[in-house]
Amino acid sequence: MLTKKASERSRLLLLNASDGIHILDGKGVILEASDSFCRMLGYARAEVIGMSITQWDANIVPDELGQVLARRIDRPGISTFETRYRSKDGSLFEVEVTNHPLQLDDQQVIYNAARDITARKKAEDEIRNLAFYDPLTRLPNRRLLLDRLKQALASSTRNGRYGALLFIDLDDFKTLNDTLGHDIGDLLLQRVAEHLASCVREGDSVARLGADEFVVMLEYLSEHEPEAAAHAETVGEKILATLNHNYQLADYEHHSTASIGITLFTDHHDTIDDLLKQADLALHQAKAAGRNSLRFFEPEMQAVVTARAALEAGLREALRKAQFQLYYQAQVDGESRVTGAEVLLRWQHPQRGMVSPAEFIPLAEATGLILPLGHWVLETACRQLAAWAGCGKMADLTVAVNVSARQFYHKDFVADVLAILDQTGANPKRLKLELTESLLLDHIEDTIAKMTTLRASGVCFSLDDFGTGYSSLAYLKRLPLDQLKIDQSFVRDVLTDSNDAAIARTVIALGKNLGLAVIAEGVESAAQRDFLAENDCAAYQGYLFGRPMPRVEFENFVAQL
Ligand code: C2E
Ligand code: MG
Ligand code: MG
């Protein structure tokens, strides 16, 4: 038992302590508290005595009070921990608590001294910010970027998707800094940081490495390298376009551009150091190529994107300069009489000569250039149909035109075809549109509606490359088709590969069943033709009967028969 004097002395100590000292009983109720504890929480002394710890310690869930107290009591000697207190006005603040379980007057009590550590936490946050963020732009700094890159590499290993690192450097930043001063330079850096953030998706990282060097890290790109490269290039181009800008910097207007070096990354081989070096090397190449450009580290990727860009520019020019031409390939019946022609697009390139559609149609589709190009093909073919209408043998021929998915799904496709037929005066009954299987399956209802409308005007439909897709019979039955075209890959080995022979036979039988005509494409030998004929196929197309040829040649070819 404490003597009266002793207890007064300890009250005096309690009164003047700067820490929030309080003594709790075994149930967490306050027996005694210092003035500073009351001040800390904003309660009067009279209110505090008898309060439960759950009323101010915000980290204690009332249901777990028993366990919390047991832990504090069982912890021998003096220990410290951090928690959050709630003051009377509801505001929260961080405290460090010194905990000391004691026996007092035969009673188990807990002596706690709490210290407000808000200021210390804030300082710690600031230090962390300084350690991981660039104070000027508030972007992650090199250290944080490296940390994220490490995680990105690990997750790329798990999900098999490519990521990309884009090093971005402002062109002639040094000149701006030297002539207008660092304050103006800083303004530009801040502006650039904002612009960069607007170019990427949430989840992509934008960081500042130092000076005028920024990094964008893209994650979760394609599993396929060329696609990942194309994506990274698109983002790179967007960044170049966004940064290529007149900036108002205080009283100055400044035009700035940037250069970008790109490297792709996946799981294996490359270390973080390698990647940084690669992107840096690519950046130097971009700088060397002149300002406002981007370069890939991987030579193959560079080659892919360069070739693609050249091809795309070439396609645009070809459309302007009318470098496209239609070739005509004969389609014949069982008696080798020409019944029509498939028009096949050719690009007469001024340097490269004839370029195959297999090379440029996919790009034309991806860029949307297929729309004007496809329009031109249809229009030219229809004009030809109209011109042949009064020309003896030519008058009875049908003309088959290939239509690509993007073209077919354009909302104006049906109207376009009808308008072309109207303007050229071509007989719709002589026009055959070739669609591919994969195209048809995507939006089946829309497809059926479009086909039905066009068919009502007389246009007919052939299913190209049949057998290479995954048409289900249920779908096939619903489509208003006129013809199936056995893909040339089956015809090629029809004599040597029993699978291909079986597929060819099945397609012919299927056509019969559904009431559709069947034509075989890619017929090169009489033996192939004979096999198909034996199995009841009555229409052919292929080198055996005629190669695709320019119009005049085709007209002579038909005239001689
Ligand atoms: P496709 O519609 O399946 O055209 C048949 C392809 O087979 C043509 O290739 C033709 O030249 C070739 N061919 C014809 N007979 C034989 C033969 O006996 N043996 C062999 N080995 N090949 C033969 P081409 O002209 O290179 O066209 C390739 C593809 O490009 C076409 O395949 C078509 O999908 C596309 N295409 C061509 N012109 C156009 C067009 O105007 N618009 C659209 N969207 N695509 C087109
Ligand atoms: Mg075709
Ligand atoms: Mg085909």
Q: Ligand 1, residues 356, 468, 488: which to mutate, most atoms within 8 A of Cβ?
A: 488
Task: Provide the 10 A C-beta neighbour count for residue 548.
Answer: 19
Q: Which of 466, 396, 470, 456 is nearest to 434 (CA)?
A: 466
User: Which amino acid, one-letter code, is at 57?
Assistant: D
CA 129 – ligand 1 centroid, Å: 61
Q: Which two tokens stand for residue 245?
A: 């800008």
Q: Domain spanning 135-297: which CATH class is it, in words?
A: alpha beta
Query: Quick one: which ligand is closest to 434's CA?
Result: 2
- Label the pairing between strands 92-104 and 107-116: antiparallel
What is the domain partition of the chain in residue ranges? Answer: 4-121, 135-297, 315-559
Q: Ligand 1, residues 344, 380, 439: which to mutate, most atoms within 8 A of Cβ?
A: 344
Mention every residue, 6+ apart, whose C-beta is less than 8 A from residue 152: 163, 217, 219, 265
Tell me if domain 4-121 and domain 315-559 are identical in fold.
no
Query: Quick one: which ligand is closest to 466's CA?
Result: 3
Question: Which atom of ligand 1 lies nearest, measured to the CA of 543?
Answer: 18
Query: From CA 134, how far away is CA 144, in angstroms rounded?
Result: 10
CA 148 – ligand 1 centroid, Å: 48
CA 391 – ligand 1 centroid, Å: 26
Q: Are 507 and 467 in contact (CB under 8 A)?
A: yes
Query: From CA 397, how far away is CA 421, in angstroms rounded?
Result: 16
Query: From CA 561, how far away is CA 550, in angstroms rounded?
Result: 17
Across 136-169, b (16+ Cβ under 10 Å) vs e yields ebebbbbebbeebbeebbeebeeeebbbbbbbbb
315-559: which CATH topology? TIM Barrel (3.20.20)
CA 540 – ligand 2 centroid, Å: 13
DSSP state of 356: P
DSSP state of 276: H
4-121: which CATH topology? Beta-Lactamase (3.30.450)
Question: Which atom of ligand 1 lies nearest, measured to the CA of 485?
Answer: 3
Q: Which of 365, 364, 363, 358 is nearest to 344 (CA)?
A: 358
Residue with CA at minimum distance from ligand 1 atom 19: 522
| Cα pseudo-dihedral 145, 147, 151, 157, rounded to 10 | 80
Residue with CA at minimum distance from ligand 1 atom 3: 465
Q: Are 516 and 481 in contact (CB under 8 A)?
A: yes
Task: Give me the tens of pLDDT residue by residue for the chain, a chain 561 residues long.
Answer: 445 666 777 776 676 778 999 999 999 999 999 999 999 999 998 999 999 999 999 999 989 999 999 999 998 889 999 999 999 999 999 999 999 999 888 899 999 999 999 999 898 888 888 889 998 999 999 999 999 999 999 989 888 999 999 999 999 898 888 888 899 999 999 999 999 998 888 889 999 998 899 999 999 999 988 889 999 999 999 999 999 988 988 888 889 999 999 999 987 667 888 899 889 989 988 988 888 899 999 877 777 777 777 888 899 999 999 999 999 999 999 999 999 999 999 999 988 899 899 889 988 887 789 999 999 999 999 999 999 998 989 999 999 999 998 899 999 999 999 999 999 999 999 999 999 877 776 788 889 999 999 999 999 999 998 877 666 677 788 889 999 999 999 999 999 999 999 999 999 999 999 999 999 999 999 999 999 999 999 999 999 999 999 999 999 999 988
Residue with tokens 């130092």: 210
